[in-house]
Amino acid sequence: MLQTEFEFILPKGYLDGDGNLHRIGVMRLAKTVDEINPLRDPRVKSNPAYATVIILARVITKLGALEEINPAIVEGMFACDLNYLHKFYRQINELEDDLEEDVNNKREINQLEEQEDRDLVISQI
């Protein structure tokens, strides 16, 4: 079964207006609409970086005891938590740059093939 929700723990946590700290949350996988709809928002048109705030507010389904997650909540987060969530989002949605991973996989395959070639030569001796 496909896992669509992932639990996270914020490094610092969101401090609400009453002084309550919220660190444990749940993020769901993003859908195409989650990335397209924010592009229509006037806040994103004037500041494209704001798309991250809106997208995170859409995909975070739970954060501590908060009843609702909205862009104002994300705006109020500490920078390290925003950075953590952005990386977490990219990780669970498999948006990480795969170039380095592909290069490493090719190296590993080449090493295995070279080892197999050596083993074959040795077995023929």
Note the pLDDT of residue 104. Answer: 59
Q: What is the DSSP letter of 29?
A: P
Domain of residue 114, residue span: 97-125
**Quick one: pLDDT at residue 15?**
97
pTM, rounded to two decimals: 0.75
- Asked if 34 and 89 sit in the same domain, the reply is yes
Please state, rounded to an integer, the average pLDDT across all residues of the chain.
Answer: 88
pLDDT reported for residue 100: 55
* Structural domain total, the chain: 2
Residue 72 CA to residue 59 CA, distance in Å, equals 14
47 and 107, same domain (yes or no) = no
Mean pLDDT value across residues 90-94: 96
- 76 and 26 housed in the same domain: yes
Q: Are residues 75 and 112 in the same domain?
A: no
What is the gyration radius of the CA atoms in the chain, in angstroms? 21
- pLDDT-derived band at 81 (thresholds 50, 70, 90) equals very high
pLDDT for 105 equals 60
